[in-house]
Amino acid sequence: MLLRARERAAELGCQAASPGTGALLQVVTASLGARAVVEVGTGTGVAALWLLRGMPADGVLTTIDAELEHQRAAKRAFAEAGIPPARTRAIPGRPADVLPRLTDGAYDLVLVGADPHAYPEYVEAGLRLLRPGGVLALDGALHGGRVPDPARRDEVTTVVREVGRSLRADDRVLSALVPTGDGLLLAVRR
């Protein structure tokens, strides 16, 4: 099922979480006992499958994506994996429009993996959604290895780099960058 979801991602031209990133997300989700998770950027469901594997049987994943074709592919991956429909809530729409409608402090984990240009907005919304002790996970935090290279100053690299800096300086969280996949920045809400 993960392999098929990855193949669909390649066909649709969207990023899929690496196996290392997925495994780490599964462990973090399981360690939190996460029952309520938000994913910003559904893709074809690769990261979602890892998250669902780490969640208890009564956990619900809310996944947001503006691309209906991506959500259809993810729903297919969920069905192939035998995930009951009640465990996922796929919300079509722009995350900037959907995130404000979600309940403050009600989520155990928020995964941001869509549109690096909007990372600052998604990260701030994610922090608002987290309960104390909840974790924000930002996939793609190394942006193809560009973030640690000071010579790289393109717009997206600068945005991703600045999000990492702002989270390190934010008293509301403790953060760490894990160099798996394309970088996974984890920040626990104090």
CATH code: domain of residue 38? 3.40.50.150
Please state the pTM of the whole predicted model. 0.95
**What's residue 184's pLDDT?**
97
pLDDT at 3: 78
Can you tell me which residue has the tokens 């928020």? 110
Mean pLDDT, 10 residues at a time, the chain of 190 residues? 78 88 98 98 94 98 95 95 97 96 98 94 98 97 94 95 97 97 97
Number of domains in the chain: 1
Burial degree of 169 (CB within 10 A; 0-12, 13-18, 19+): exposed
Confidence at residue 14, expressed as pLDDT on a 0 to 100 scale:
87
